[in-house]
Chain A
Amino acid sequence: MTPATTAAPGPPASLRRRLLATLYRHPRTQLLILLTPPAGWFGVVYLGSLAILLVAAFWYLDPATSAVVREFSLTNFERLIGEPVYRTVALRTLTVAFLVTLADMVIAFPIAYYMARVAAPRLRSVLFMLVLLPLWSSYLVRVYAWRVILAPNGLIDWTVQQLGLPGFSPGVSDFSMWLVFSYIWLPYMILPIYTGLERIPNSYFEASADLGARGATTFRKVVLPIVLPALVAGSIFTFSLTLGDYITPTLVSNSQFIGNVIYESQGVSNNVPFAAAFATVPVLIMAVYLLIARRLGAFEAL
């Protein structure tokens, strides 16, 4: 690592040195160089797109020509509120997101507890990896796998029949959708709870036991209050991801989600303004959800 002997590409070393020295003395310029590309990308591409989404939500389709009229109008929102089908779809999406979150909390807790408080360090890191892998990969394949498993004569149907019971094949149904959503987002709930549980000092358990509390009481009065922010943090993921999905409902149910209506409005009926208007609904829901989550301390547990 001897700088003097390093052959440098580009301008002669002396010129380069002077340039770099000038830069070194001007931290504002350095910051500008670092910040312009990412801030430009997010400011223009992403926030710009969100702004267009918001503006386009107030445009409308000319009924005669089906061309987009770029003028302010409340047509889309009147339709969203006026036609009961959209309320049903929004309510269904919310209900499923809520039930999925609930199921994930119940399923995630025992394994998170085992990982954080029972498993030896080596086993813990293996388990961590095993929970992490499905979180990052194979979303579509895992939904597709359940479609195959839940079909008539699939794995579940066959297993139930082997037990001597009449078959069970939920196939494409709301039950399947709830099950598959709970399965898909489960790692997002396990990991925050695991982190929350791992942070509890052992002395808290000892103190609780010394004061005469039994397992259940310790759980209710010590563990649960401490882990609550982590539970809420996990629920942000399970809730938001369910809310923003439309592939799972398409593949394993016959029900429509907010996302299905949005996708079909822009793709099938070419009504981008209406799709944009409906897309503001999940944004509003998440804004309210995040405000509540923040009050419950979930942001510190992230």
Chain B
Amino acid sequence: MSRIGLRIAAGAVLAFLYIPIIVIALYAFNAERTQAWPIRQFSTEWFGAALDNPSVRDALVLSVQVGLSATLIALVLGSLAAFAVHRFHFFGRDAISFALVLPIALPGIVTGMALNATINTAGIGFTPFTIVVGHATFCVVVVYNNVIARLRRSSRSIEEASMDLGADTWQTFRHVTFPVIRSALLAGGLLAFALSFDEIIVTTFTAGTQETIPIWILNHLRQANQRPIVNVVAVFLILLSAIPVYLSQRLSRDGGAGPTSR
């Protein structure tokens, strides 16, 4: 294939990837309630309407709360697992990384249905906590991958040097190890938040009647009178999931955001 042909093909695929996103962003500024193309009149009135909508605000608050909680749990569990696998040899070491990747390697409905069956069987109601449990479970691997990639690239000799100079384990961690993994933690945390904020399939099985932002969109997109607000909320969702991913990618050169880390 010629270079020009390849260049055209690459451009066409990029257009294919981004035109739908651009189109929906434009519709957020559509003054009319109909979704016909082309847009005849632009307006920013729906942004105000979306922010004034109590169910949108509730969904936004829930999504942010769930995202932050799931990210926090994923940061703790993911880095503990990364340190254990990197620093020690033990029985079942290979099974750890396999177990961590399972929630996203298995089809989403399986993870969702497994959690749903458990919630139903145990008789616990659907609360923000049940959503957080589901999200944290598939977010751990993202942090784990980022942290372990960083640990593998960094040398342990600086920690030994720190101990030789009289620092204890905690001081070494606080002043030597932590600064090394800090940006990997941040990158992993940002990805975990983006993943949680955008997730819908597992969430529909663990949320009951609660509405996160994606579920709010799903519940309202068929209602013609809600369409302008749905378009605005869609733009929120794009921004709040894409910006963390972009920042995370800028932070980590470990390739921690490859497709295999999902």
Contacts and interface: CB of A to CB of B under 8 A. Distances in A.
Interface stretch (B41-49, B50-58, B108-116): B108-116
A140 B214 contact: yes
Nearest to A129: B249
A114 interface: yes
A118 B7 contact: yes
12 contacts: A20-B170, A30-B87, A30-B88, A37-B76, A41-B136, A52-B117, A140-B218, A140-B234, A153-B36, A192-B260, A258-B109, A275-B117
A246 B245 CA distance: 25
A133 B116 contact: no
A47 B96 CA distance: 12
Interface in A238-261: 240-241, 243-247, 251, 258-259
B198 A186 contact: no
Contacts of A190: 13
B115 A49 contact: yes
Contacts of B17: 130-131, 134, 183, 186-187
Nearest to A23: B169
A48 B118 contact: yes
Interface in A247-302: 247, 251, 258-259, 262-263, 266, 272, 275-276, 279, 282-283, 286, 302
A148 B84 contact: no
B13 to A, nearest CB: 4
Interface residues of A, number: 100
A63 interface: no
B102 interface: yes
Given A24-B169, A138-B21, A141-B237, A244 B107 contact: yes
Contacts of A56: 117, 121
Interface of A: 1, 3-4, 6, 8, 16-17, 20-21, 23-24, 27, 30-31, 34-35, 37-39, 41-43, 45-50, 52-53, 56, 107-108, 110-111, 113-115, 118-119, 127, 129-142, 144-149, 151, 153-155, 157-158, 183, 186-188, 190-192, 195, 215, 233-234, 237, 240-241, 243-247, 251, 258-259, 262-263, 266, 272, 275-276, 279, 282-283, 286, 302
A65 B140 CA distance: 40
Given A111-B14, A131-B17, A138-B237, 5 more contacts: A1-B176, A3-B168, A133-B246, A142-B21, A247-B201
B9 interface: yes
Contacts of A4: 166
A114 B7 contact: yes
A35 B218 contact: no
Contact of A31 (B1, B35, B90, B262): B90
A35 B81 contact: yes
A282 B117 contact: no
A9 to B, nearest CB: 10
B156 interface: no
Interface in B115-158: 115-118, 120-121, 133, 136-137, 140
Given A3-B171, A244-B201, A262-B113, A155 B37 contact: yes
